[in-house]
C-alpha cells in the first residue's frame, strides 16, 4: 500500500488509476480463489474445522473490494491530504458495519449471515467511494465482472467440494477476464514477460 501511495501521490492520473483498479480487481478475484486451497488443507488435515468453511468462504468473497479500498481509495484520500474526510468515512463505514451485524444478529442469529453482513460492509464502502471518486466507477464492465465473480464464488464454495469448486471458480475468473478485461490482462502478461529477467 505504501508503494502505491508514493505512486499515486505524484500524479492522480485518472486513466492510470482506473487501469490499476482493473488489475487489482483481477488480483482480488484470484485472491478469493485461494479459499479453495485453504479449504483443501482443512478437508485433508484438520477435518474438525470443516463446518466453519461456509463462514470463512463468505469472508474470502470480499477480497476484490478490500484490495481496491486499501490500495486505491485509502491512498487517494491520503494523496489529496484529505485525512479528516477519510477518518469520517472510516467511522461511517464502521457504523454501517455495526448496523449490518446488529440487524442480522437480532433478526436471524445465523453465523453465515453475520459473516455476509461483514462482506456487505466492504461492498458498501467500495460503492460509497463513488461520492468522492466518481471517475473510478464509470465502467459497467467492472460491475458485471464483480457481480458474476461474487455470485460464482459463493456458488462454487457452497455447493461443490473444494476441488470441483476451485476448478469452476477458476473457469469463471478466466472467462470473465477474457470477456471484460482481455486487453488489460494481455498487457499485464507482456509486462511480466518483458521484465522477469531484469532482476
* Higher-scoring residue by pLDDT: 191, 163: 163
The yes-or-no verdict on residue 41 having pLDDT over 90 is yes
Residues 62-83: what's their mean pLDDT?
95
The yes-or-no verdict on residue 191 having pLDDT over 80 is no
The yes-or-no verdict on residue 39 having pLDDT over 70 is yes
The yes-or-no verdict on residue 5 having pLDDT over 80 is yes
Q: State percent of the chain over pLDDT 70.
A: 97
- CA nearest 41: which of 171, 173, 163? 163
Look at 92-96, 123-127, 191-195 and tell me which has the smallest mean pLDDT. 191-195
pLDDT at 1: 64
pLDDT at 50: 95
What grid cell was written down for 97?
458495519
Residues 54-58: what's their mean pLDDT?
96
* Torsion angle in degrees (nearest 10) through CA of 191, 193, 195, 199: 150
pLDDT at 7: 79
Residues 19-27: what's their mean pLDDT?
94
Dump pLDDT digits (tens) for 128-186. 998 899 999 888 999 999 999 999 999 999 999 999 999 999 999 999 999 999 888 88
* 37 C-beta neighbours (distance < 10 Å), count: 11
What grid cell was written down for 64?
476484490
By the 8 A CB rule, do 184 and 16 touch?
A: no
By the 8 A CB rule, do 61 and 119 touch?
A: yes
Amino acid at each position: 500500500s505504501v508503494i502505491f501511495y508514493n505512486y499515486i501521490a505524484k500524479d492522480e492520473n485518472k486513466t492510470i488509476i482506473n487501469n490499476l483498479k482493473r488489475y487489482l480487481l483481477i488480483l482480488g478475484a484470484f485472491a478469493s480463489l485461494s479459499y479453495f486451497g485453504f479449504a483443501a488443507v482443512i478437508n485433508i488435515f484438520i477435518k474438525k474445522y470443516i463446518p466453519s468453511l461456509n463462514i470463512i468462504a463468505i469472508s474470502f468473497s470480499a477480497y476484490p473490494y478490500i484490495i481496491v479500498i486499501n490500495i486505491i481509495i485509502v491512498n487517494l484520500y491520503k494523496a489529496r491530504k484529505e485525512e479528516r474526510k477519510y477518518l469520517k468515512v472510516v467511522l461511517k463505514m464502521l457504523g454501517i458495519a455495526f448496523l449490518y451485524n446488529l440487524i442480522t444478529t437480532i433478526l436471524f442469529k445465523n453465523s453465515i449471515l453475520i459473516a455476509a453482513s461483514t462482506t456487505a460492509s466492504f461492498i458498501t464502502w467500495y460503492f460509497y467511494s463513488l461520492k468522492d471518486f466518481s471517475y473510478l466507477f464509470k465502467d459497467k464492465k467492472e460491475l458485471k465482472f464483480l457481480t458474476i465473480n461474487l455470485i460464482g464464488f459463493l456458488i462454487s464454495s457452497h455447493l461443490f467440494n473444494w476441488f470441483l469448486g476451485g476448478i469452476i471458480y477458476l473457469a469463471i475468473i478466466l472467462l470473465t477476464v477474457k470477456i471484460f478485461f482481455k486487453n488489460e490482462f494481455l498487457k499485464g502478461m507482456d509486462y511480466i514477460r518483458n521484465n522477469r529477467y531484469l532482476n
